[in-house]
């Protein structure tokens, strides 16, 4: 069978090591899926695959064992799932449009986890709507607190949710449970002064440990939700590294706009002669310089009054071939 490999990949099917067989890559923004939607995945696996589905590291599914000639039928079966997940699509019935930008991942968020500061899957779906369909290779993740269960710092963009803890002195009984939790679990942003608690803002990462450990609700989460936006983390062969902080105490709208602006930046600077016709964002930033990226990223972004923008961002990481 004559197969256009590039077209197969852009339709979110994988070229596998088994001749004549492909795998459908099912994107689930934020990893939030219903039992009804899971049944669709199972039905496709049973009818056109080998009866198995692989849960990917990016919170989607790969359904292996599909014959290339069955791809149109699989796309038809995927349509209800795509509709229910609210995924942008060029032509209904043709499956997923493009597979460049990877599935937007998220931890389980504050609907379940007591540590989380935000509903992460909602934000993942918002970003998915804003950036798909697109062929550029972006990896984006949202985590509900600085515990970073989703490993946001291994992505091109990592949104780490935070709260600006609110302190009501009259409720405080000076038990110091908050200070102990911050000292042992976080960044020692709280200290005891004259038998009262004081918070050092420059040390606070908005994790909410003080809120969780206060028995009298002297500490509460702020109504405004904030994010630490970490950028240009990556794995891979050349120079794997963790993302570094770009914005502190940023609002959701600013983070989403910066991500959208980065698509314009990459489109302008990408080296189409790179292997596979794609160049990852971090290498483009390395090539053009952080300040050029920053100029594009902050265009038309209205930052909140609490937001701190880093003047310089320096990355390290592993560099293979160096002598130690």
Domain assignments of the chain as residue spans, ordered by start = 5-85, 105-162+225-309, 165-220
The CA distances from residue 38 to 43, 55, 60, 91, 260, in Å, are 9, 11, 11, 23, 30
Q: 106-119 burial string, b = 16+ CB within 10 Å, else e?
A: bbbbbeeeebbbbb
Select the more confidently predicted residue: 235 or 6: 235
Q: If pLDDT is split at 50, 70 and 90, which confidence band does 272 have?
A: confident
Q: Which two tokens stand for residue 43?
A: 């039905």
Segment holding 129, helix H or strand E: helix 120-131
The listed CATH number (3.30.413.10, 1.10.1200.10, 3.40.50.360, 2.60.260.20) that belongs to domain 105-162+225-309: 3.30.413.10
Owner of token pair 């265009």: 299
Q: What would the mean pLDDT of 4-31 be, rounded to a whole number? A: 92
Report the topology of domain 165-220.
Answer: Alpha-Beta Plaits (3.30.70)
> Mean pLDDT of all residues in the chain?
94
The listed CATH number (1.10.260.40, 3.90.550.10, 1.10.540.10, 3.90.480.10) that belongs to domain 5-85: 3.90.480.10
- pLDDT of 322 reads 61
99 has a pLDDT exceeding 70: yes
- pLDDT of 2 reads 67
230 has a pLDDT exceeding 60: yes
189 has a pLDDT exceeding 70: yes
Residues 78-90 pLDDT 10s: 999 999 999 999 8
Evaluate whether 79 touches 94 at the Cβ level (below 8 Å).
Answer: no
Q: Cα separation of 40 and 272, whole Å?
A: 37
């Amino acid at each position: 069978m004559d197969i256009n490999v590039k077209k197969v990949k852009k339709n979110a099917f994988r070229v596998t090591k088994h001749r004549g067989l492909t795998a459908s890559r099912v994107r689930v923004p934020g990893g939030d899926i219903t039992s009804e939607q899971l049944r669709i995945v199972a039905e496709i696996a049973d009818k056109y695959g080998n009866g198995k589905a692989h849960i990917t590291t990016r919170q989607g599914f790969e359904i292996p064992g599909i014959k290339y000639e069955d791809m149109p039928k699989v796309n038809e079966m995927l349509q209800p799932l795509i509709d229910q997940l609210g995924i942008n699509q060029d032509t209904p019935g043709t499956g997923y449009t493009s597979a460049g930008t990877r599935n937007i991942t998220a931890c389980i968020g504050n609907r379940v986890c007591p540590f989380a500061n935000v509903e992460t899957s909602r934000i993942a779906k918002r970003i998915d709507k804003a950036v798909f369909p697109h062929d550029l290779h972006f990896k984006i993740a949202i985590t509900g607190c600085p515990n970073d269960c989703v490993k946001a710092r291994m992505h091109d963009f990592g949104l780490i949710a935070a709260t600006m803890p609110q302190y009501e002195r009259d409720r405080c009984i000076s038990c110091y449970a908050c200070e102990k939790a911050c000292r042992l679990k976080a960044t020692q942003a709280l200290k005891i002064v004259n038998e009262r608690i004081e918070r050092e803002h420059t040390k606070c990462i908005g994790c909410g440990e003080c809120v969780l450990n206060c028995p009298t609700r002297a500490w509460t989460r702020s109504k405004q939700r904030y994010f630490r936006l970490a950028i240009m983390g990556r794995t891979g062969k050349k120079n794997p590294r963790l993302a570094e902080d770009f914005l502190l105490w940023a609002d959701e709208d600013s983070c989403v706009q910066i991500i959208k602006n980065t698509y314009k930046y990459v489109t302008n600077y990408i080296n189409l002669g790179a292997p596979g016709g794609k160049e990852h964002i971090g290498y483009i930033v390395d090539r053009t310089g952080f300040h050029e990226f920053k100029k594009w990223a902050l265009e038309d972004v209205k930052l909140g009054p609490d937001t701190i923008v880093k003047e310089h961002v320096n990355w390290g990481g592993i560099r293979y071939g160096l002598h130690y």
